[in-house]
Amino acid sequence: MQPQQPYANPPQSEHPQPTQNPYDFIINPGKPTKPGLLGNLNFLKNKLVKYVLIGFGAILILIIAVNVIFGGGPNSAPYQAVAEDQTEILRVASLAIQQQTLAQASDNSAVTIQATINSNLGLLLSVTSQNDIKINTSQLNAFYDTTTNQALTNAANNGNYDSVFLGIMQTYLANYQKAVKTAYDDSTKANLRLLFRNQYNSASLLITQVGNAQQSEG
């Protein structure tokens, strides 16, 4: 019986494997991967979108601030001026109608003026309201000319009320027609332009009627 041979050592590899260090990822970290061209483009795109949104937001805030400070909506000043002229004309026409000694031609003019301008004022308030234009009606009676009252009072005492009234009304109607023309030029809506075109023409007719009354009075 052959004596038992000890276990032979396994053959060694001609190319031994290097021992893996479990902490190698700390000592020798891998190099980060550089972004490619597509990655750079996406980064720039995101930055650009961000800046555009910021710029748009700033512009929007500026627009809101301007509207708050200076007020939004259409400019009501030309329409307010027309309404104020109409109110003053109505007031003076009413004063003339109350005069018992008024000549027939002057009285006819005052009545026609009152009816026409009263209708025009109502249409003005209606159409401007439809277009979101605010007219301060509480201020319409606050802009009368006190010198007109004094002139008519003196004329009544001096017996020349007709000529003074017709002269004042002629001036009032001419100024009113100019205000209507300004409002027409300022308007862009079709219904507003039609309104002021008609009121301009009606003012021309009233001016002619007052002129005829002046001739008959003279």
Does 33 have pLDDT greater than 80? no
Write down the pLDDT at residue 141. 83
What number is the average pLDDT over the span 21-26? 54
For the chain, what is the largest distance between any 2 Cα atoms, rounded to a whole number of angstroms? Answer: 170
Tokens of 208: 């002619």
Which superfamily does CATH assign the domain made up of 77-217 to?
Answer: Ferritin, core subunit, four-helix bundle (1.20.1260.10)
Higher pLDDT, 79 or 36: 79
Write down the pLDDT at residue 69. 46
Q: Choose the weakest-confidence range: 141-145, 189-193, 199-203.
A: 141-145
Cβ-proximal residues to 52 (8 Å cutoff; 6+ apart), any chain: none
What number is the average pLDDT over the span 105-113? 97
Write down the pLDDT at residue 66. 42
Write down the pLDDT at residue 43. 62
Tokens of 115: 């009816």
What number is the average pLDDT over the span 75-98? 96
What number is the average pLDDT over the span 14-28? 55
Higher pLDDT, 109 or 23: 109
Q: What is the mean pLDDT of the chain?
A: 82
Query: What are the domain boundaries of the chain?
Result: 38-72, 77-217
Q: Kindly report the three-state secondary structure assignment for every residue of the chain.
A: CCCCCCCCCCCCCCCCCCCCCCCHHHHCCCCCCCCCHHHHHHHHHHHHHHHHHHHHHHHHHHHHHHHHHHCCCCCCHHHHHHHHHHHHHHHHHHHHHCCCCCCHHHHHHHHHHHHHHHHHHHHHHHHHHHCCCCCCHHHHHHCCCHHHHHHHHHHHHHCCHHHHHHHHHHHHHHHHHHHHHHHHHHCCCHHHHHHHHHHHHHHHHHHHHHHHHHHHHC
